[in-house]
Copies of this chain bind each other. A is one copy, B any other.
Amino acid sequence: MTVLDNGIALERIEDGVLRGRTVPEWANMVGPFGGITAAVLVRAIELQSDVHGQPVALTANYLAPIVDGPFEISARAVRTNRTNQHWYVELSQDREVKTTATAVFGPRRDTWGDTELVRPSAPAPEDVPAGGAGPTWMSNYDMRYVTGGIPGETDGESDSSETLLWLRDNPARPWDFASLAAACDVFYPRVFRRLGRMLPAGTISFTVYFHADTETLAAQGTGHVLARARAQQFSAGHFDQSAQLWATDGALLATSHQIVYFKG
């Protein structure tokens, strides 16, 4: 059991109802890291007896901070089709909803395929130094910034919000859909990079499209993934972020998007 396994551990209460608890190692500035919450929502669906296929899409909405302690997840298959299955999920504490999510699962089929997006070039992970300190949860990742590391006091403003890093779980752990979902949220808020300083910011809504299937993820083992994120627009207290996670061998494993609240 790694720290990621602890973070997504769930006890089944009855069909569609599960119980989990926060783990101190996943603490963020306020409440737990949003990625571990997304991961536990994926795992909650995977544990349902009527689950159909593998994750295709997840949208998690962060309504209120999760406080330290137990939480309950309800997961309901709203509709099951031959080619996909649609879920609605709520995470609550003391009957107060803290996170909602919709998810699409489905079987994978052999079709024509192509990766149109070009994978960024980067030196091998072993040639990139490990990133610096951050909130508690960051210790659960081996993060090696190629560009756009956490801004230091002397970095100042930047014209680009882009970050490119190599990433794997720490301790190393074979990739699965839950850990892939969490990894899509490892990027510190893009507004920090643009303004060269920290300010209050938090993800409101977070979407992951899972391009990899079980076999592709298994082939990735515990290797580093190449993760890239940038913002498109900052305005009126929000910015959006788009991210891509690439396998060491070049396959695009997941694409992800989020909209983030910021103050300042």
Contacts and interface: CB of A to CB of B under 8 A. Distances in A.
Contact of A252 (B205, B233, B242): B233
Interface stretch (A33-41, A67-75, A126-134, A253-261): A253-261
A59 B102 contact: yes
A94 interface: no
Contacts of A237: 83, 106, 108-109, 111
Given A205-B57, A263-B111, A64 B88 contact: no
Contacts of A61: 86, 102, 104
27 contacts: A61-B104, A63-B79, A63-B81, A64-B81, A79-B97, A83-B237, A84-B204, A86-B100, A88-B88, A102-B102, A104-B205, A106-B261, A108-B236, A109-B236, A111-B234, A111-B237, A112-B195, A112-B264, A113-B235, A116-B232, A205-B207, A207-B207, A207-B257, A211-B240, A233-B252, A242-B242, A257-B257
Which 10 pairs of residues, A with B, have the shortest CB-CB distance?
A113-B235, A108-B236, A109-B237, A59-B59, A117-B232, A63-B79, A57-B205, A233-B252, A209-B240, A63-B86
A213 interface: yes
**Copies of this chain, tallied across the complex:** 2
A204 B238 CA distance: 26
Contacts of A112: 195, 234, 264
Interface in A194-223: 194-195, 204-205, 207, 209, 211, 213
A114 B211 contact: no
A64 B80 CA distance: 10
Interface in A22-69: 56-57, 59, 61, 63-64
Contact of A116 (B88, B204, B231): B231
Contacts of A213: 236
Contacts of A81: 63-64
Interface residues of A, number: 60
Contacts of A109: 236-237
Given A79-B97, A100-B86, A234 B264 contact: no
A116 B56 contact: no
Given A100-B102, A205-B59, A244 B262 contact: no
Given A88-B88, A97-B79, A102-B100, A236 B59 contact: no
